Every structure is written in structure tokens, then in C-alpha cells.
Structure 1
């Protein structure tokens, strides 16, 4: 079977040139950052609408649920379209759809118009994710992709850190409608700023397979890489348990064990700070056993629920979340880079869509089940199970063929 593997080696000139100085990557990074900022800002803007009375709490939940549904439907479709047509085109049209629909949410808060607009926004967000991932492989040379992916994930963490405060600051001088217009402008930048890729559309329209057949082809490509399937299931398990413990049980523990929300705020800030540090570290260092190294980083998320099992000094909780943040980026960057290196280039967007569909798609399931489980079995039992899953799932994935280096090649 022909191999699509590319060595992560570069010519001396390429090694001396930072990807951050490349104009094409700078445009790609700017577009991805704009889409991330728009994605993270929207829930906070809608939360402000609840506070000013223009949207009910039930309406907020419904709008966000519809946005999530649009995301989940569009991710696999976007992956197919990005492989079938140009990745730049997929980024353009998905960003334009979100740019047009975002301000429309303010026209009928909680009503049919806003729900339809939220679905389109979610679809645009979902369709652009695999397209951006595949476009990175086109714009960036193989030897610079690890650095590029680290810069991209660094931008994601910066947006999660800055978006809430920026929205709150702007809300002091402007209304929800204006903020949604600004978010739409961010989506417009995400659509128009990225550069063109190097790959032409695949096949003539008459020769193209049906959507379900092309999706199945992407699944077959993913199955060709046992390390990818094992890592994806480990990532999904960690997000569905550890992430859910953070989202649902951390606020309860902060209130019940410590009597203050300061531990909640400190832990979340520590997680983001750790993730930023992890992105910087992994951009500069790539161990030989990069797959095992990445899976060990993913397992570090288990320290987050473990630190919540019993009342400990708040500094222990903060330290655990710093470690979890560092670890998640030690996983993310090698993971994305390996997919761009190992997966067949004409199927990369579809395989990436499987990644986002499972890891993000099952997260709401974990969030929905964690609180009822805690009510039935107790918070400590649920946190213990979450910690065990976070530790064991990556360890099991490390046993898969190719997991040591996230590669099917013997090198």
C-alpha cells in the first residue's frame, strides 16, 4: 500500500525560517483566531442578553442547543465538501454563512428567526473546522507544521482567555445587537483573510461519489491508522469525563468545599495558563516517542477531577489544572501534526471531521449525564470514575500499533 507519510524534516533554510514570519501562515492564523474569538464570544453575548432581559434563560439554552446541533450536522458535511472542493472555498463559504447569520440572532431573540440563525452559525463553525485543519497542511511546509499547530492552538487559548473580558468591557458601552454585529465581522474576517491553498478540487461532478460513500471512504482512511482510532477514542473519553467534571462539578465543589467561587475562577484561569505554556513547550520540543509523550499529556487531565475528590488546599486544585492545561496541549499539537503528516491528503478534511465530530459531539452527552450521576452515586464516586477514565484511556491507546510515534511507518 502506498504511504502518505511525510518526514518532519526540512531543508536548512526552512529550519532557519520561523513559520510565524510566513505571510500566508499569518493570514491563516489571523482567520483562525477570528473564528475562534467569534465562537467563544457568542455565548457570553447571549448571556448578557439574558441579564438585560432581551432573552430568557430557556431561550438561551435553546439557541445554544440549536447552534450545537448545526455544528454536529455540518462537521461531516464540511469535511466532505472540503475534500471534494477547495479547502479555501470551504473556509470562505462557511465563514460567510456564519457572518450573515450571527447578527440575525438579535432580530428575534429566542424566536424562530434567532433559532434558524443559530443553526446556520453552528453549521458555519462546524464546516470551517476540518477545512482549516486541512488548509494548514496545504499552506505550511511539513517541517513547520508542529510550530504552526502550536501557534494555532495558542491562539485558541488566548481567545478563551480574552473573549469573556473583552465582551464584558464592550458591553459597558454598547448593546447586544452591536456586539453580534461585531461577532459577524469576525466571521467575515475568518472567511476572507486566509490564503488560497495548493490543492485543486478532486474529480469532475459526474464522477463524484454520493455523500455517504465519501464519508465512508473517510472512515476507511481513519481505520487504516490504528493509532489514530485509539487516540481519538482516548480523547473522546477524556473530554466526556474530565471535561464534564470541570464544567459541571468544579462549580459545585468550589461552592461546597471552599465556600467561594474564587477556586472555580482560579482553576479555569490556571488551566488556560497551563495550556498556553504547553503550546509554547511543544512548539520547541518534539521527543522521539511523540505519540506516547502526547498520550501521557492527555492523561494529565485526570489530575483535575482527582484534585476535587476531597477538600485540599486551593493551591493543589490550581496546580492540578495547570498540569491538565499543559498536558492537553502536549497532546493536541502532536495529534494535529500527525494527522496532517500521515493521513492521505485528499481525505484529511474528512478524517479531521471525524475527530471533531466524536470529541466535540459526545461532550454534551457527558455534560448532560454528569450531574444526574453525581446525584445518584455521589460527587466523589463520579469524580473518581472520571479520574480513572482519564488515566486509563490514554494508557490503553498507547498500546495501539503506531501509537509510540503517531505513525504507521517503521522509523
Structure 2
């Protein structure tokens, strides 16, 4: 029952997270917001997200993950409420309120992401971590589809304000529903000055970095993940729409590739939920490297089944990596430093993604799409291979002495 409550809270958090940008986009389509507004608000959301990730990780290890889930989810709910209030106003005040609401939503999302990962070992026995992570991953994949679709349906039927209110309700569920496991607290004294709090925060974050550095597999796999996210994911988001329009005169390739990827990911989550390979690190990195199939398949995108098969295999492989990766972090990292190490994961992987997105389009215009696809495939493959030769990478755990 405790894990079911955690799973449900995580699902509500995921739906709310993925729904927000789609509702903002829907507001643009209804001439409620401008395209310039959308770009600014999404930038504010990303800024709040990245700023809150390390804060959430440090505070979770200091006062408990469940308290941070409560606080971050309520902050995001307040953000959704501010957006609703802003939509009812006119002029500059409306933009300020909506911008503040989007920023708060990003802060809530960023603080909650690593904390939902760090609380799992408090609720689930070590032997069941991989199965639990597979179930949580299934939730994530489902919310990527359900969140935007449900939000768009509500916005169409009842209006944009109703969609943002629904997002606020979901964040309230995320705040209140998860269980309250026993967690240690490590707080500064009541008379600690502000400067000392900042010093303690920096020391705590550095301590988390040092804990991560004790595990060579962590930074090796994280570097490989960043390479795939910054290049492979950027190809999917930027070049696939262009290729789809050129070859099929519509978004057929884009829509079907998302479906194939999600289908492969769902199958991967089911398989890895009951499969614990001996060399789990190598299997995970092989799954990560399988994303190289995607840009290679786009070289023959006119043969439709080739990219569809590649996306399905890449989805399967990425899910294999994700579940093993999260399980290894939860199982191998010291419990009292787990949220901080998880926050490092999200800071680096999410922080580098926009760099790839911003570079792919001008690079492809300068040197052409084909060289970009080949280079991306090589980078994804080499990143996984290089990570696999790092010490302790084969098992994703420190060697027993």
C-alpha cells in the first residue's frame, strides 16, 4: 500500500509536469498568449527547474525526502494557481503573474524530481528496488502520453484556466498522497546565521559530489547519458520533424516514431522488472548505446519500417538503462546522501539537453543533415563504449573487498 501511494503521487507529479508546456502551447493556439510569451515562460520554467534541483537534493538529505515532496509539490500547485489568476487579468500584471506562476511550477518540478527517486529505498525493500523502479518508469512513460492529451482535452472542453486548475489539483495530490516513511533529520541550530546556512548548503552539496565520485561507474555512465541526451534526443526533437515533412509532407514519421519509442520502452520496463542480469552495468550501457540506431535509421527514413524498428529498439534499450541506473544509484549510494547524488544526475543530464537542442539546427543547416546523423550515431555509440570500460562499470557497483 505504501508503494502504491508513492507510485500514485509520482504519477500525479509526472502528469502535471508534462501537461504544463502543452497547456501553455494550447493558450498560444487560442491567442491567449503570444509565441514570445511562450518562449519566455518556458525559459522561466527551465530556470526554476535547474535552480531547484540541487536545493531539493541537499534539503531532502538534511530534513527528509518526504518533506521536500510536500513543499515542492505545494509550491508547484501555488504556481498553477498564480497562472490561473494571471489569465483572469489583463496587461503587464497578467504577464508578471503568469511568469511568476510558471517559475514556481519549474521550482516545484525541479525540487521534486530527484527526491521522488531518493525516497524509493525508504518505502521499498532493497530486493524489490528494480521492480519498483520499473513500475515507476512505466508511470513516467504513461504520463508522457496521458499528461499532454488529458490537459489538451480539458483545455478544449472547459478552457485553459480549467486545465491549469487541474494541474494544481494534481500537484496537491502529489503533495498529500505519498506515504511518510521514517527518515532521519539533520538540521542546523536555530541560531545559525544566514551566511552559515549558505556555507552548510555548499558543504552538503560538495559532500554529495564526493560520494558520487567514490563510484567511478556513476560519472562514466552520466557522461554517456549526457552525450546521448545532448545529441540523440536533439536529433529526435529537431530533425525528425524536418525529415518527416520532406519525405511524407506531414508529421507521419514524427508521430509514429514517438509511438514506436514508447512501445519499446513499455516492453523494456516490463522485461527489466523481473530480470536482474549479472553484468547489469554493461547491459544498461548497451541499452543506452542502442540510441545510435535512431540517427542511423533516419538515413533510410524513406523505408518506413527501418526508423520504426530503430525507435522501438532504442525505447527498449533506454528503459533498460533507466531502470538499472536508478536501481544502482538507490542501492549503491549512501542512503543519507542519495538525494544529493540524484540531483547531480538531473542537473547534468537536464542541464546539457538545451545545448544540444540549440546547436543541432544551425549545425545541420551549415554542414547538412546526413553528417549530423552520422556524427550523432558515432557519439552515442562511443559514449556507451567508453563508459563501459570505466572501473566498476560492469556491475554499476563498487567491488567488494
Deviation string, structure 1 residues 129-149 (Cα, Å, up to 9, x no partner): 111111111111100010000
Equivalent residue for 2:8? 30
Q: Is the 8 A contact 1:82 1:130 kept in 2?
A: no
How many residues align? The count is 389
In the TM superposition, what are the counterparts of 1:2-401 in structure 2 within 5 Å? 23-108=1-86, 111-205=95-189, 210-401=200-391
Distance in 1, Cα, partners of 2:224 & 2:307: 23
Q: Is the 8 A contact 1:86 1:197 kept in 2?
A: no
Distance in 2, Cα, partners of 1:405 & 1:222: 16
Shift of 1:309: 2.1
Distance in 1, Cα, partners of 2:327 & 2:109: 21
Shift of 1:203: 4.7
Deviation string, structure 1 residues 350-392 (Cα, Å, up to 9, x no partner): 0000000001111111111110111111111111111111111
Shift of 1:32: 0.3
Distance in 2, Cα, partners of 1:226 & 1:86: 27
Distance in 1, Cα, partners of 2:250 & 2:105: 35
Misfit runs of 4+, over 4 Å: 206-209
Distance in 1, Cα, partners of 2:281 & 2:391: 11
Deviation string, structure 1 residues 175-234 (Cα, Å, up to 9, x no partner): 000110000000000111011122221254359762111111111111110000100000
Distance in 2, Cα, partners of 1:152 & 1:310: 34
| Structure 1 spans left out of the alignment, 5+ residues | 1-22
Shift of 1:410: 3.5
Task: Give the 3-state SS of the residue equivalent to 2:157 in structure 1.
Answer: coil
Distance in 2, Cα, partners of 1:204 & 1:213: 13
Q: TM-score, normalised by structure 1?
A: 0.92
Shift of 1:102: 1.1
| Structure 2 spans left out of the alignment, 5+ residues | 88-93
Q: Is the 8 A contact 2:118 2:330 kept in 1?
A: yes
Deviation string, structure 1 residues 244-280 (Cα, Å, up to 9, x no partner): 0000001011111232211110001111111111100
Q: Is the 8 A contact 2:154 2:162 kept in 1?
A: no
Task: Give the 3-state SS of the residue equivalent to 1:358 in structure 2.
Answer: helix
Q: Is the 8 A contact 2:84 2:165 kept in 1?
A: no
Instruction: Please give the root-mean-square deviation of Cα atoms over the aligned residues, in Å.
Output: 1.4
Shift of 1:326: 0.5
Q: Is the 8 A contact 2:300 2:306 kept in 1?
A: no
Distance in 1, Cα, partners of 2:156 & 2:344: 40
